[in-house]
Amino acid sequence: MDAQDHYLAAEIQEALARDPRLAELHLDVAVVGGAVHITGEVATIERRDAVLDLVRSRFGGRDVHCHVTVTPTEGPQEPEAIG
Partner 1 sequence: MIRIAAVGDIHYGDDSTGRLLPALREVHEHADLLLIAGDLTRRGAAAEAEVLAAELSQVQVPVVAVLGNHDYEAGEPERVRAAIEKAGAVVLEGESATVRADGGTVGVAGVKGFGGGFAGASGSSFGEPEMKLFMATTELAAAALADSLESLASSDLRIALMHYAPIPETLQGERLEIYPFLGSYLLCEPVDRIGADLVLHGHAHRGREKGVTPGGTAVRNVAEPVLRHAYAVYQLGG
Binding residues vs partner 1 (CB under 8 A): 20, 22-23, 26, 41, 43-44, 46-47, 71-83
Pick between residue 60 and residue 79 the one whose CB is nearest to partner 1.
79
Pick between residue 53 and residue 63 the one whose CB is nearest to partner 1.
53
Pick between residue 61 and residue 82 the one whose CB is nearest to partner 1.
82
User: Nearest Cα to 30, choosing from 2, 72, 61?
Assistant: 2
Q: Exposure pattern of 43-53 as b/e (b: 16+ CB <10 Å)? A: eeeebbebbee
Min. distance of Cβ 16 from partner 1 in angstroms? 12
